[in-house]
Amino acid sequence: MRKQIVSLSIVTSLMLVGCSSDGYNAFPDQPHSVAEMVGKEQVVGWENYKDDSDGDKVPDYKDKCPNTPQGVEVDENGCVLDIDNDGIPDYKDKCPNTKPNMEVDKNGCYIDTDKDGVADYKDKCPDTPANIEVDNYGCAIDMDKDGVADYKDKCLSTPQGAEVDENGCALDSDKDGIPDGLDKCANTPKNAPIDKKGCALDSDNDGVIDLFDKCPDTLKELEVDVDGCPVDSDNDGVPNYKDKCPNTPSDVKVDFKGCPVIAEYRFHFNTNSFAIAPKYYKQIEKLVKVLQNNKDIKI
């Protein structure tokens, strides 16, 4: 009978380990009913189940982060909260709403290598110089859209489409006042009057610009020479469009129609001879040319 009583005491002691009088079960596999059977404050072998070394209100036996700083909000595991999951706890995180999987600095804020206020992940110009005003993409402001940032642009109002130099100033190869890129006539002669497209003026539209045109009022569609004057093929002083005798010899006097002036030719013969005296040869040659080139003239 004595041996049976001793055995029962040992079993009872083993069952009570881990249980307390307040019904708290330190070991989930122990039945609460056993704790209720005991009228003591604590169970032998588990005096420190309520200890909380870091004071975060999560008992040490459950605390997965046992050295949490005092006063920091923690989760049910005793670990500091990190709402945006960036690896920086909320109590240290100065940017608590960063996007997932983004690289952040020690303050929990997006990395911004060039310190322009635009995070690297959306910065299209990651090497902007310090203290330069940038747009939403982290690129230096370029108000006139000429490809030269305002901070080094010496010509801030360059017309759109104009070619510029390294200082942001419009190029003008022919120095006519119209920037390259907008100039439709890039090789305008110096000092030539131009239109708004940069082309030299040709007031009479004869193909010879005013700068070189010696006949600036030539009638429309007339053929002109290099000086912009109506062509005079036979050089008689009457332009082709007016010349009724276009092939007059250059040494023949003509009227306003470009035809030879009617003249009387007299040849004297020696007495009792049909031979023309040599002194009339040149005059005869001239007359022959006139007749050959102007078939309508009759003698």
Residue for token digits 């690896």? 87
DSSP for 52-86, please give it: -TT-SSS-TTT-SSTTPPTT--B-TTSPBP-TT-S
pLDDT tens digits for range 91-102: 999 999 999 999
pLDDT tens digits for range 207-231: 999 999 999 999 998 999 999 999 9
> Taking the model in full, what pTM does it have?
0.51
Residue for token digits 């006097």? 253
**Residue 47: pLDDT band with limits 50, 70, 90:** low
Lowest mean pLDDT among 43-57, 75-89, 180-194: 43-57
CA distances from 274 to 166, 267, 268, 294 (A): 90, 11, 9, 27
| DSSP H helices in the chain | 2-16, 32-36, 281-293
pLDDT attached to residue 144? 95
Q: Give, as one character, the DSSP assignment of residue 163.
A: -
CA distances from 184 to 138, 163, 187, 195, 210 (A): 36, 13, 9, 10, 17
Helix (H, G, I), strand (E, B) or coil at 104: strand
Q: What angle do CA 237, 242, 244 make, to 5 degrees?
A: 95
Q: Which two tokens stand for residue 201?
A: 């003026």
Q: Give 34's Cβ-side CA count (13 Å radius).
A: 19
Q: Check pLDDT > 70 for residue 35.
A: no
Lowest mean pLDDT among 31-40, 126-135, 213-222, 237-246: 31-40
Q: What percent of the chain is predicted at pLDDT more than 70?
A: 80
Q: Check pLDDT > 90 for residue 232.
A: yes
Q: Which two tokens stand for residue 176?
A: 């006519």
Helix (H, G, I), strand (E, B) or coil at 194: strand
**Other Cβ atoms within 10 Å of 44 Cβ, number:** 10
pLDDT attached to residue 1? 46
Say how far apart CA 228 and CA 219 lie, in whole Å. Answer: 11
Q: Are 74 and 55 in contact (CB under 8 A)?
A: no
Residue for token digits 């203290």? 131
- Counts of helices then strands in the chain (DSSP H, E): 3, 0
pLDDT attached to residue 122? 94
Say how far apart CA 145 and CA 205 lie, in whole Å. Answer: 37
Average pLDDT, the chain: 83
Say how far apart CA 92 and CA 84 lie, in whole Å. Answer: 12
CB contact set of 1 (below 8 Å; sequence gap of 6+):
none
pLDDT tens digits for range 251-299: 788 898 988 876 666 777 777 777 888 888 888 887 787 778 767 666 6
Q: What angle do CA 54, 59, 64 make, to 5 degrees?
A: 75
pLDDT tens digits for range 153-173: 999 999 999 999 999 999 999
Return the sign of the alpha-carbon dihedral for residues 168, 173, 179, 183: negative
Q: Check pLDDT > 60 for residue 246.
A: yes
pLDDT attached to residue 279? 83
Q: Check pLDDT > 80 for residue 50.
A: no
